[in-house]
Amino acid sequence: MHEMSIAQSILDIIFQESQNHKVSRVLSVSLKLGELSAVQSESLRFCFELLSKGTLAEGAKLDIERVQVTCQCQECGSKFTVQELVFTCPSCNSPKIDMLSGRELSVESFEGE
Ligand SMILES: [Zn+2]
């Protein structure tokens, strides 16, 4: 499962950081999740819960922020948010666009003690 390996890599980051900061228990984790990363928040929560059992991250609260897909048109320079995955410029209909955000999958911060 896609979410399982993502949950594992999130935990790897947390374990590494916990060691660096001498954290013995993780309370909450803030994640940024791009709409295009194709990750279901609920199934990510489920996998995280499963994998964190018995670790210092057990019971940690997952704070998931969804990041919208934003693009910039190469022709007219307008920036826009992609709705329903239509990748053309709403101003000039050009298909030549650059993606600015939407693929994020990152651990922004976490709280521990
Ligand atoms: Zn345009």
H-only helix segments in the chain: 2-20, 41-52
Q: What residues does 97 pair with on adjacent strands?
A: 73
Residue with tokens 């910039």: 72
Residues with CB under 5 A from ligand 1 (ion): 73, 75-76, 89, 91-92, 94
pLDDT tens-digit map of 43-89: 999 999 999 999 999 999 999 999 999 999 999 999 999 877 788 99
Distance of CA 87 from the midpoint of ligand 1 (Å): 11
**Overall size of the chain counted in residues:** 113
Mean pLDDT, rounded, of the chain: 93
Domain-by-domain residue ranges, the chain? 2-112
pLDDT of residue 113: 92
Q: With bands split at pLDDT 50, 70 and 90, how would you rate the model's confidence at 112?
A: very high
Check whether 108 has a pLDDT greater than 90: yes
Q: What is residue 1's predicted lDDT score, i.e. its pLDDT?
A: 57
Q: Give distance in angstroms: CA of 84 to centre of ligand 1.
A: 18
The H or E element containing residue 59 is none
2-112 CATH choice from 3.40.50.150, 3.20.20.70, 3.30.2320.80, 3.50.50.60: 3.30.2320.80
Distance 79 CA to ligand 1 centre (A): 8
